[in-house]
């Protein structure tokens, strides 16, 4: 008898996260149930060995699933709609697909940083308007990433994915992450630093932190004022970490340049000042959700279900940490 | 008595290529002469130990400089305005500053490639026009550089500078360079390949070749048609290598995406079709000429003059190869 | 009130794993109890928040420790003397110090491989006996690691620590690990392969697997016969993985070379044939236990206790996987 | 008509440096002449386009070779038996095969360093004598290369080959090379330093310098005394750089450990104190001359001859620098 997998990936469409071969393999190797509505889910849980998706799983509902061994989140964030303590007590694996996005975000972040370093999108716009500047003329503020001072705010999945991409630039790399001991950073050949030090000493700053009660507006007016004149700030994790009003003001005044993939309100209001700022690169929450990342989610799910079915430990998805799972303050992205 | 250095860097302004400290050191350690006009140069050559610049140096003029030991080009290309054979026969070192630009070009090229991979400047433009697409919506054609097939057309200074930046993406890397034996590429962990193979098997292609009689329109219609559907083409060396009419046609038809830093005519005509193509990133010959690169030139000149004055070999600038110096067909960039 | 840490690291001496400053910090930040004997331990558990060490912790004893949040193993292996299911049900963190040894083992393994590649210890011995061979004379079987075919048997802590050390040699790297999906290896730019393929196609083979019921004599006569003539085999994880009688026979016959840090019986019998084989490098279980690794254990313990005390997730030690913890068949090393 | 290549590689046997296919290709693409004796050589030079080997080439003999375009040294050192100024004046390419050995030397040097770090050959000897020490017992002086202070004396071919092998150990890397400006080292992410600083601040020191009039006994008693207690010294370039009497004394006294591949007199005298020192790894000038390196020489020769025949610049062998070629004081190794 094949283990029963309850597949409720919404809002992720099944075909977005599973390549056809992955879906076929899933159906071949597992008994896949795709229930409709809450009642359908409740019923399906009776025989469920694993849930793939992020449905509400309060204690009453978990009680309906006596055989449940794993919950595999395919959206990317752990929300407070699951009774995590019960899962841990029952040794139900709670897994997240966050790492699937990390490479995509890291490459996008590097692309944004190089854009800011060299004015790529700004000068492309100028070119289209017939006011391009040749050779050194448009390069007065162009800088190298090579041997630059680079700061990372947060060193989790995203920081770890970005770090190797920065290696050939041989930066002086500082990171601030209050959840990590210094040794973890030193092992990655990154200098541990305070937030103030990261901000005040870096030409390039990548904001890669997740949102918790503690990190709301971690970058407020005071912190943004620590950035060196002409710094390049890349925001690719969560908007709530940064005070965007203070950001718009400073970029508008030419204090530094910024690129942002996340926004306090999405869609961004039509009259947002950011839409017309020259010193910014605008990106519409596009860093992580690319086809290759979505397909990676399905592959991770299949790989880890297979390991669990063999009695082995999952290795591709991220395990929810009992200590952390209640701290996140992320909102659904879509 | 200090060796006499004739400083005629035009069109490079002295203060662009020499940091104040470098210029001060140059004047301190050498007898610096800055002649005016041809007559002034002729006169200055009588005592010259080195020439810093790219003035016309035909055989008659070299004959005026019996003590000349080195000519240090600070523009970046070897032009046919020097009697190179006489220099070689007289063991006059002919040095070029090309490597000073390589890191800047490589970083710009990577920035352009990541822009094409993710539509960074295209979506920034859309955002400014209020038609941005969030999350996966604008990402249908977004691809990773990680594990991609990447091709290099030419593997000289630029290829060698770009290669380490690509390393963390672990690409399958192929290069075509008819001036290099396969072993040089294999030592760099690059697969030697024919031009056709590079073009037909790569998702990302970087054109890094210099111009010779043989490489004019190396990428013509037939070659551009070899590129896979949806490829990303990055042009950062010399425009003459590529047929830009054929390029515009194919990018306009949506066959592939391109980013170009070099143009057959600069400034680009106001009515160039490129100015309004969605599938292109436009850059106005800005890849190399950034402040850090210019200052690097002065530092290289000073370092190599010091070595030569100590009777040692220059190591920072590039030596003109007797076999190659007559082959280049580069035009002055400015 | 400071959390109570029960410190019973035996057989590890306290001062071996804790630097003086680490020990002072531990005592400052926690209430450290060092009980004597079983009765002392039983009593201490009543108030225990964490246990540092690897004492027997059957269910009855765990019942004595109602406040226990974490067990931190400072020896390196998970033995069956702990009631792991109860720990998981009670959300007690079970952490191991295995990663502390990984860098030391990886460096030692690389050292052994380079010794085998070049005959370093063999020729040192010859030199001492006055029969050294100069220049090419002693180099008939010397090989480069650069661009070699390299195989890894097992890709856990040790494989992940060794992998970056091999990167600059640009090997064709294959790994066999039945607990890992192919994607994990591909992400590390390693080719997934069967055991037979790893053995038959590699010039250098590193045995890095842990022992389970399935991996006893994983490398038996048949498997060892797959190694290419003149291969170099490096054994640094667990002796039980390999049939040492078959190994001695083949190395003695000159089929291939080997280096071993682990032995079926330790101390190795005085009459072991290995002691006089020319084709072997002998190492007395020294790969991991170096001062820097021991001190790392104490640092890891302190770091993770601090995180846990702050309500955060431990990040330095390895979490016991519920699925795997019952599978290991390691014996105490000392 | 094929260009005439005079092949006089002695003391290198032809078949050692040319793989069968390389030799066949050489004979196919060039007119290969292998003259006997001086008279034969004199005669052969009349039509010679290139000489492969290191025969005496004084001015009178060069005068016999009006068509000579290149001299390709296949031994590894530039000796004073060639009239280099005449070669340069006549634009005859003078090429050396030194780089062919660099990877082999670098790998051997790393192997020696790891041996010293962990006592690999010392403990192998002990094991054979039945006095091996298990686990931590023999590890009191074992150290990691990871994050160590590492010094390079000389940063030429060997330093450049070793540098990437050290990268994954993330050392603090200092180099002393009086022929190089600081910028060359900084580009390689190496800290420029004085000799004294390199010696006094490094746990590992690699001596990679060539011999010139200035570098004889560069490491004398005073310099060796700068090494930290317990340092590891690896000597792989030229013995003349170091005072071996002073070295034996200090290693014998247990001040530091050393590994040496080169010796003031080769063969080393039977009564050399080094033969019985515990703190040394003995290697009989074996670092470079391995089969893969020898074959690389032939491949390099063939590649560069092909380029020269096509009118292109050689790229694989090292060009003799007019400024340096008279400075070397190397003696033939065999």
CA angle B188, B190, B194 (to 5 degrees): 135
User: Can you give the pLDDT at residue C329?
Assistant: 63
Using the predicted structure, report yes or no on whether residue B34 has a pLDDT greater than 80.
Answer: yes
Q: Do A266 and B134 touch (CB under 8 A)?
A: yes
The tens digit of pLDDT for each residue in D44-64 reads: 999 999 999 999 999 999 999
What residue of B is the nearest CA neighbor of A288? B135
Closest alpha carbon to D286 in C138, C145, C116, C141: C138
Average pLDDT, chain C: 95
Report the gap between the CA of D322 and the closest CA in chain B (Å).
Answer: 7
Which residues on neighbouring strands pair with residue D173, listed in sequence order?
A: D150
Give the pLDDT score at B55: 97
**Whether A313 and C183 lie within 8 Å, measured CB to CB:** no
Q: Which residue has the higher pLDDT, A49 or C77?
A: A49
Candidates A85, A103, A183, partner chain C, best to mutate (most C CBs within 10 A): A183
Residues sharing a CB contact under 8 Å with residue A247, sequence separation 6 or more, in sequence order: A219, A224, A233, A258, A260
A258, β-bridge pairs: A233, A280
Q: How confident is the model at residue D278 (pLDDT cuts 50, 70, 90)?
A: very high
Distances from the Cα of D269 to the Cα of A239, C128, D247, D289, angstroms: 73, 12, 16, 22
Count CB-CB contacts under 10 A for residue A278: 12
The structure's pTM equals 0.97
Q: Is C333 a residue whose pLDDT tops 70?
A: no
| Nearest C-alpha neighbor of B319 from the set B38, B78, B14 | B78
Query: Is-contact D204 D227, C-beta < 8 A?
Result: no
Is the peptide bond prior to C11 cis by the omega test (within 30 degrees of 0)?
yes
* Pairwise CB contact (< 8 Å): B313 & D307: no
Question: Over 50: is that where the pLDDT of B282 sits?
Answer: yes
The token pair that represents A169 in the structure block: 């630039």
pLDDT digits (tens, 9 = 90+) for C86-128: 999 999 999 999 999 999 999 999 999 999 999 999 999 999 9
| C-alpha span between D183 and D304 (Å, rounded) | 29
User: Strands of B257-260's sheet, edge to edge?
Assistant: B191-192, B172-176, B149-153, B204-207, B232-235, B257-260, B280-282
| Sign of the torsion angle spanned by Cα atoms B143, B148, B153, B158 | positive
Backbone angles phi, psi at C216, to 5 degrees: -60, 130
Nearest CA among D175, D186, D171 for reference residue D153: D175
Nearest to D116 by CA among D226, D233, D198: D233
Tokens 């380490």: give the residue.
Answer: B164
Strands (E), chain A: 4-8, 31-33, 50-53, 70-73, 93-96, 149-153, 172-176, 191-192, 204-207, 232-235, 257-260, 280-282, 318-319
- The nearest CA of chain A is from the CA of B258 a distance in Å of 13
Q: Are A239 and A285 in contact (CB under 8 A)?
A: no
Phi (first) and psi of residue D237, to 5 degrees: -105, -85
At D330 the pLDDT is 60
User: Which among A134, A105, A135, A137 has a CA at the least distance from the CA of A261?
Assistant: A105
Distances in whole angstroms, Cα of residue B281 to Cα of each of A180, B114, B123, B262: 40, 11, 12, 11
Alpha-carbon distance D134 to C299, whole Å?
24
What single DSSP character describes residue B228? P
Sorted by sequence, the CB contacts under 8 Å of residue D61 that are 6+ apart come out as D41, D42, D45
Cis status, amide bond into D11, omega within 30 of 0: yes
Q: Exposure pattern of B303-328 as b/e (b: 16+ CB <10 Å)?
A: bbbbbbbeebbbbbbbbbbbbbbebb
D85 chain-B contacts, CB cut-off 8 A: 91
* A91/C322 Cβ within 8 A: yes
Subunits with 3+ Cβ pairs within 8 Å of D are A, B, C
* Angle of the D120-128 helix axis to the C99-118 helix axis, nearest 10: 80
- pLDDT at residue D233, as a whole number: 98
* C311, C316, C321 ranked by CB distance to A323: nearest: C311
Does residue C334 register a pLDDT over 50? no
Q: State the DSSP string of D77-110.
A: S--TTB-HHHHHHTT-EEEE-THHHHHHHHHHHH
Distance from CA of A48 to the nearest CA of B (A): 31
**Tens of pLDDT, residues C34-58:** 999 999 999 999 999 999 999 999 9
Distance from CA of A266 to the nearest CA of B (A): 8
C-beta separation of C175 from C155 below 8 A: yes
> Which pair of structure tokens corresponds to residue A228?
């060196």
* Distance separating alpha carbons of residues B241 and B233, to the nearest angstrom: 13
To test the contact with chain C by mutation, choose from B144, B167, B170 the residue with the greatest count of C C-beta atoms within 10 A, namely B170
Nearest to B252 by CA among B221, B268, B233, B276: B276
CA C38-C39-C44 angle, 5° bins: 95
Contact B323 D311 (CB under 8 A): yes
Which among D12, B268, D143, B149 is positioned nearest to A131, based on CA atoms? B268
Mean pLDDT of chain A: 95
8 Å CB contact of C308 and A300:
no
What is the side-by-side strand order in the sheet with D257-260? D191-192, D172-176, D149-153, D204-207, D232-235, D257-260, D280-282
Kindly identify which residue of chain D lies nearest to residue C131, measuring between CA atoms: D270
Chain-chain contact of D290 with C104 (C-beta, under 8 angstroms): no
Average pLDDT over residues D92-114: 97
Q: Containing H/E element for C95?
A: strand C93-96
CA distance B319 to chain D (A): 11
Give the three-class secondary structure for B328: strand
Does the pLDDT of residue D331 top 70, yes or no? no
**CA–CA distance, A258 with A277 (Å, rounded to integer):** 10
Across residues B230-255, what is the average pLDDT? 97
From D287, which residue of chain C is nearest by alpha-carbon distance? C135
**Encoded tokens for C153:** 């048997």
pLDDT tens for each residue of B144-164: 999 999 999 999 999 999 999
Long-range contacts for D24-32 (Cβ within 8 Å, ≥24 apart)? D25/D302, D26/D298, D26/D301, D26/D302, D26/D305, D29/D2, D29/D305, D29/D306, D29/D309, D30/D2, D30/D3, D30/D4, D30/D5, D30/D305, D30/D309, D31/D1, D31/D2, D31/D3, D31/D4, D31/D5, D32/D5, D32/D7
Whether residue C259 has a cis bond before it, omega within 30° of 0:
no
Give C211-264 pLDDT, tens digit per residue.
Answer: 777 778 999 999 999 999 999 999 999 999 999 999 999 999 999 999 999 999
Query: What whole-number distance in Å separates Cα of residue A113 and Cα of residue D74?
Result: 48
CA distance A7 to chain C (A): 21
Cα D84 to Cα D71: distance, rounded to the nearest angstrom: 10
Helix, strand or coil for residue B149?
A: strand
Say which of D89, D184, D303 has its CB closest to residue B91. Answer: D89
What is the band of B334 on the pLDDT scale with cuts at 50, 70, 90? very low
- Among chain D residues, CA nearest to C285: D135
Which of the 8 DSSP states describes residue B273? Answer: G
């Amino acid at each position: 008898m094949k283990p029963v997998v309850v597949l409720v990936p919404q809002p992720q469409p099944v075909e977005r996260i599973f390549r056809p071969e992955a879906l076929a393999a899933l159906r071949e190797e597992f008994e896949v149930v795709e229930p409709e509505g809450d009642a359908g889910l409740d019923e399906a849980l009776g025989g469920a060995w694993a849930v793939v998706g992020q449905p509400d799983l309060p204690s009453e509902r978990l009680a309906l699933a006596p055989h449940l061994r794993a919950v595999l989140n395919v959206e990317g964030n752990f929300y407070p709609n699951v009774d995590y303590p019960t899962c841990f007590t029952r040794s139900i694996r709670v897994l997240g697909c966050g790492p699937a996005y990390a490479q995509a975000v890291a490459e996008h972040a590097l692309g944004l940083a190089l854009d800011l370093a060299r004015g790529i999108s700004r000068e492309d716009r100028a070119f289209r308007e017939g006011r391009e500047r040749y050779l050194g003329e448009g390069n007065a503020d162009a800088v190298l990433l090579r041997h630059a001072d680079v700061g990372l705010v947060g060193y989790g999945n995203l920081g770890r994915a970005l770090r190797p991409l920065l290696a050939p630039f041989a930066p002086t790399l500082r990171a601030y992450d209050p959840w990590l001991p210094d040794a973890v950073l030193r092992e990655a050949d990154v200098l541990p630093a305070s937030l103030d030090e990261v901000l005040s000493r870096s030409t390039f700053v990548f904001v890669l932190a997740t949102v918790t009660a503690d990190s709301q507006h971690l970058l407020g007016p005071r912190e943004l004022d620590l950035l060196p004149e002409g710094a390049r700030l890349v925001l690719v994790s969560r908007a709530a970490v940064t005070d965007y009003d203070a950001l718009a003001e400073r970029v508008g005044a030419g204090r530094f340049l910024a690129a942002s993939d996340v926004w306090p309100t999405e869609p961004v209001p039509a009259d947002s000042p950011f839409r017309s700022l020259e010193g910014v690169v605008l990106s519409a929450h596009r860093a992580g959700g690319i086809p290759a990342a979505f397909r990676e989610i399905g592959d991770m799910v299949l790989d880890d279900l297979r390991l669990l079915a063999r009695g082995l430990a999952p290795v591709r998805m991220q395990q929810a940490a009992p200590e952390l799972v209640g701290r996140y303050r992320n909102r659904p992205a879509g």
